[in-house]
């Protein structure tokens, strides 16, 4: 069974990351922004599924970005994606700016 991968948005909806017709492993990257002014941390919830309400999908992994530079809302850009190593794969923070 092929399952799509999404992330939860701050509003509780989903942002598609890997469509159901893609084979995993694949190299997909997503860029998101801070949802509040002066955020010093951000959380990305990786979900299995593509139901429109994030909490109706299966939570696979949680990625926390700490120590972010406080900036106005929608200014900070967070990039995360899939990485492979030692036969194990995880979604990891790639960079923030």
Q: Which residue(s) pair with 16 in the sheet?
A: 6
Q: Which residue has the higher pLDDT, 28 or 19?
A: 19
Distance CA(55)–CA(62), nearest Å, equals 13
Task: Quote the longest CA-to-CA distance of the chain.
Answer: 42
Task: Give the full edge-to-edge strand order of the sheet including 14-18.
Answer: 14-18, 5-8, 41-48, 58-66
pLDDT for 5 beyond 70:
yes
Domains of the chain are 5-96 (2.60.34.10)
Residues 90, 83: contact at Cβ < 8 Å? Answer: yes
- DSSP states of 23-57 as a string? PSS---EEEEE-SSTT-SEEEEEEEES--SBGGGS
| Confidence band for 88, pLDDT divided at 50, 70 and 90 | very low
Per-residue pLDDT tens digits for 34-56 = 889 999 998 889 899 999 999 99
Predicted pLDDT at 93? 52
């Amino acid at each position: 069974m092929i399952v799509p991968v999404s992330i939860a948005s701050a509003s509780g909806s989903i942002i598609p990351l890997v469509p159901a017709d893609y084979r995993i492993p694949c190299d997909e990257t997503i860029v998101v922004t801070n949802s509040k002014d002066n955020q010093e941390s951000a959380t990305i919830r990786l979900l299995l599924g593509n139901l429109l309400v994030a909490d109706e999908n299966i939570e696979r992994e949680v990625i926390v970005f700490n120590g972010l530079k406080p900036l106005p809302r929608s200014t900070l850009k967070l990039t995360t994606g899939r990485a492979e190593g030692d036969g194990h794969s995880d979604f990891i923070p790639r960079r923030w700016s």
